[in-house]
Amino acid sequence: MVSIKKVQITFDCADPERVARFWCEVLGYVVPPPPKGFATWEDYERTLPPERRGAGFACMDPSGEGPRLYFQRVPEGKVVKNRVHLDVRVGTGLVGEERLAALEAECARLIPLGAVRGTLLLADEYNESCLNMQDIEGNEFCLD
């Protein structure tokens, strides 16, 4: 029997805390507690060498069910389309106009957070409608 492993999804980015807090808002995730012995993440960061400060940040599903997201600072910017992306499941079980309304409502909620609207792909004989978007650093994701 194969055991199921938990996964962490890692994003390369320029500003880990900013991108993590964006995804907290998108997914209803939270920032995990700071390491033992530290009252805040800021207290912990002050113990790191200057070049390591702000180099990583995480967020997690408060229920513990969803994957942890980790954001790591990298020197290069994003230059190509993601090979893997997140589908934010806002229209599950919905079809037609009801699904489109759910996608549009979530898009309207995310744009003030810094998300960028992409292409609306309408349902066909194989797939339901979805809406392509980008996060605050240009990483593609879909409202599905």
Does one domain contain both 12 and 67? yes
What is the chain's pLDDT, residue by residue, as a tens digit (144 residues)? 777 778 899 999 999 999 999 999 999 999 999 999 999 999 999 999 999 999 999 999 999 999 999 999 998 888 888 888 999 999 999 999 999 999 999 999 999 999 999 999 999 988 899 999 999 999 999 999
Residue 3 inside a domain? The answer is: no
Among 50, 73, 96, the domain-final residue is 73
Q: Where are the alpha helices (DSSP H) in 1-83?
A: 16-27, 41-45
Does one domain contain both 20 and 52? yes
Rounded Cα distance, 136 and 14, in Å: 10
Question: Is residue 92 classed exposed, middle or buried when 0-12, 13-18 and 19+ CB atoms within 10 A define those classes?
Answer: exposed
* Verdict on whether the full-model pTM lies above 0.95: no
Does one domain contain both 68 and 105? no
Residue 58 inside a domain? The answer is: yes
Rounded Cα distance, 38 and 17, in Å: 18
Number of domains in the chain: 2
Rounded Cα distance, 140 and 117, in Å: 10
Q: Which domain holds residue 53?
A: 8-73
Does one domain contain both 121 and 100? yes
